[in-house]
Amino acid sequence: MTTAQKISQESIYRERTPGSFEAFKRAGEVMPGVAKGAYYYAPYPVTIARAEGCHLYDVDGNRYVDFANHHTTQILGHNHPAVVQAVERQLAQGIAVAAPMGIETALADELCRRVESLEMVRFCNSGTEATLHAIRLAREYTGRHLIAKFEGGYHGSHDAVEISTSPDPAKAGPADRPVPVASAGGMPPNATDNVVILPFDDEAAVEAIVAEKRDELAAVILDPKTGVIPQRMDFVRAVREITARYGVLLILDEIVGFRASPGGVQAQCGILPDLSTYGKIVGGGFPAGAFGGRRELMSLLDPTLGKARVFQSGSFSAHPVTMAAGLAMLEVLTPDVYAGLDRLTDRLVHGLEDVFARTGTVATAATSGSTFSIYFTGGPVRTYRAVAAADKGPVSAVYLGLLNRGYYLSNGLAMNCLSAAMDESHIDGLVEAVAGTLEETRS
């Protein structure tokens, strides 16, 4: 893809979004570039005025079909009546009080009903907090300090896990024996000392490393990377078997898991992790996190048994408005809703594969549940190094080209998703938009 083609898409984008550009300039005067890092893409992000169903409307009056859905959170689409009504009822009863209101128990009941491995649950404010507290529990329970995570796995922005999320392969060691690489500035020099890195999609290598480190390992944390680096179910099952064999806890990162099935990835794979972490959908569009698992592990948090061995709290943990929204969203997510989303996702994947073939584009659509990523590479994408080797050149122009055609995706074209507010016309529209954009950027 030439620089001229990229500039052409950018020029069209700038012509369509002058109000967004002005909003971006104003924001930069009081915030460091953007409100949060995920918002930014060049030349500047579109500013949204409102959202409804599967559509976004920007400050310039442009309409987009939303295939980002607030980082996969809005699985029902925007402003679903059940969620809005639940929030309004809770607002009338109280926004937040320094005491339980009962709605948190109802959401915990629903999570434990859906997920076999959950005997007890605690709520927090984000997926980052959920993995932080789950790791603390694992370390306290086992008396060991090492945590193993997978290369390319993202589990939030704290020092225990923001390691080797996107390392330079030249600095990351052998593919079957990766070395830990800090992923963020400001980390202490010894941040990598407490983390062991495992490779995706290689059962033998995982077993060799876990067997060697088992006396020091508190837990393996695994995110099957729904829609980003989707894993074989056999591999996920193997990780569960390996950790059980060597007496190491398994934390399954299900932050995006409710995109896969009513019971998450673990139900889909038929495994029982020791601890699970949640976010996104469990808050119904509001800030939320949760973690849970076996009673004997979760009891370390219980102050009624004496001083809790692990303390977890937070002013906005189990916020009643969030709990109400999350419960409403989960209650709407019936097996029929998942079946509908799966049918639409299959239609999208087949459509994209046909477009790649017709246009002679070397690309693949990686999917899991109702999430999908577009990578400019051939063959399956099941490891971080396969993602790292993909051609990044076309991404920006294709992303801007889709925006110019009225389709809003994740700005790296990874971890896009569908919503239940969509129908076949939205899917077919995106397929044709991808085809048109690829033809346009190749000419």
Domain containing 112: what range?
81-332
Residue 253 falls in the annotated catalytic set: yes
For the cut 90, the answer to whether the pLDDT of residue 3 exceeds it is no
Q: End of a domain among 332, 347, 373?
A: 332
Q: End of a domain among 332, 358, 378?
A: 332
pLDDT in tens, 222-276: 998 766 899 999 999 999 999 999 999 999 999 999 999 999 999 999 999 999 9
Kindly report the CATH number assigned to the domain that includes residue 130: 3.40.640.10
Q: What is the mean pLDDT of residues 176-197?
A: 94
Q: Which of 280, 338, 399, 407 is catalytic?
A: 280
The answer to whether the beta carbons of residues 261 and 281 sit under 8 Å apart is no
Do 345 and 233 belong together in one domain? no
Q: Rounded mean pLDDT of the chain?
A: 95
Strand order, beta sheet including 371-375:
364-368, 371-375, 416-417
The predicted structure's pLDDT at residue 412? 94
The predicted structure's pLDDT at residue 59? 98
Do 338 and 407 belong together in one domain? yes
Amino acid at 41: Y
Residue 154 falls in the annotated catalytic set: yes
The radius of gyration of the chain from alpha carbons, rounded to an integer in Å, stands at 22
pLDDT in tens, 370-428: 999 999 999 889 999 999 999 999 999 999 999 999 999 999 999 999 999 999 999 99
Do 338 and 317 belong together in one domain? no
The predicted structure's pLDDT at residue 5? 61
Do 67 and 148 belong together in one domain? no
Which band of pLDDT confidence, cut at 50, 70 and 90, is reported for residue 441?
confident
**Considering the domain boundaries, does residue 1 fall inside one?**
no
Q: Which of 66, 202, 253, 274 is catalytic?
A: 253
The predicted structure's pLDDT at residue 442? 76
Do 273 and 418 belong together in one domain? no
**Considering the domain boundaries, does residue 228 fall inside one?**
yes
**Considering the domain boundaries, does residue 5 fall inside one?**
no
Do 113 and 186 belong together in one domain? yes
> Is 0.85 topped by the overall pTM?
yes
Residue 58 falls in the annotated catalytic set: no
- Token digits of residue 258: 């409710």
**Considering the domain boundaries, does residue 2 fall inside one?**
no
For the cut 80, the answer to whether the pLDDT of residue 2 exceeds it is no
Which band of pLDDT confidence, cut at 50, 70 and 90, is reported for residue 6?
low
* Distance set, CA 298 to CA 65, 101, 123, 162 (Å): 41, 21, 12, 24
Q: Please count the other Cβ atoms lying within 10 Å of the Cβ belonging to residue 134.
A: 30
Q: Which of 13, 44, 141, 154 is catalytic?
A: 154
Dist CA 47 CA 40 (whole Å): 11
Give me the number of domains the chain comprises: 2
The predicted structure's pLDDT at residue 125? 97
Do 315 and 361 belong together in one domain? no
